[in-house]
Amino acid sequence: MKIGITCYPTYGGSGVVATELGKELAAKGHQVHFISYALPFRLDGFRENIFFHEVELPDYPLFEVDLYSLSLTSKMVDVVLYDELDVLHVHYAIPHTTSAWNAKQILNERGRDIKIITTLHGTDITLIGLDPTLLPLVRFSIEKSDGITAVSRHLREKTLTNFNLEREIEVIPNFVNTEHWKPVDSERLRERFAPNNEPILVHASNFRPVKRITDVVRIFAQVREKMPVKLVLVGDGPDRAEAEKLCRDIGFCDDVHFLGKQNGLVELFSAADLFVMPSQNESFGLSALEAMSCGLPVLSTSVGGLPELNLHGTTGYISEIGDTDRMARYAIELLSDKRRYMRFHQAARQRAETQFSARDIVPQYEAFYEQILEGDSSLSVPSLQS
């Protein structure tokens, strides 16, 4: 099968999932064509069956606004025609689904049909898509897609409610390659962060306000009052400066490591003890799943799709948004009880392997592609199990 994938190429869950899906499909023999304005950051090195098509923006004085969505449409038309794609799989509704719909109309005029599958990831539905200036366009684009998937049951229900839709939306959860995301020897890295073998808390995100980075710091501060502990923060974004200031104000900067954007997350997670995700909203929580696959228990909020991933009292603990006191208590209890910690460590890894492995989830996408190509958008995909 020849599949076109469009996603945002920068750091963020939707781009990561789209890229990892493309890599898995290519490894299974499918031809995958990425169409975006830059190379997805997880496309590292040459991979057989993967092709990249860069969307170039016109440079003309008359155009004072970004014409990416129109340029993307034009590039989609070219790739479908000349690389003979079977399906366009777009990730994140704005503007990718709209561009794909426009491409479909142009192709129809040329006697060429193309199926559009949209995967919804979260803020394209719960935040940006609800903007009054965009809502009609988002709703129209979703309705006109040949197939729709969402990464969690929560996001499916939010989409149906927010946009007053009655069509089928299949839940195909995010996934990890558990052969790659697994515990590895990271003693050298651990010694660097925690020379006296202190427990290490870790957080990884794009540091947007929805991630509540300062809550991570406050949780760490309370844990630190009760036991020696270190904090590793991976990523960058608008709230990094505020988090750094909070560390300076409280006075424990030597115990906090701001690493910025990093690619070696398997080694970093393997060196840590506990993943902290106090988000205000998460449609799934991909970074938490990657941490779990490396054996890390998770402290998370109870929002969005996180309870579908992180099982309270089994793979980690769940608290309400902003309840840093409770999250700190959970961290102290878990890190103080080695036997309980090992149970959580094993359960986190097992849940990633048995419920969210690429070997089980990617075939669901393949089956969905086949069903859509046969003209039936009502495929029943196995539901996300608890």
Domains of the chain, with CATH numbers? 2-175+357-373 (3.40.50.2000), 187-355 (3.40.50.2000)
354: pLDDT strictly greater than 80: yes
Per-residue confidence band for 263, with pLDDT thresholds at 50, 70 and 90 = confident
| Integer Cα distance of 158 and 142 in angstroms | 13
312: pLDDT strictly greater than 90: yes
Q: How far is CA 252 from CA 83, 229, 247, 256, 327, in A?
A: 55, 11, 6, 7, 19
Predicted local confidence at residue 6, as pLDDT: 95
Q: What is the pTM of this model?
A: 0.90
CB 162 within 8 Å of CB 130: yes
| Integer Cα distance of 194 and 7 in angstroms | 37
386: pLDDT strictly greater than 60: no
What is the rounded average pLDDT of the residues 354-364? 97
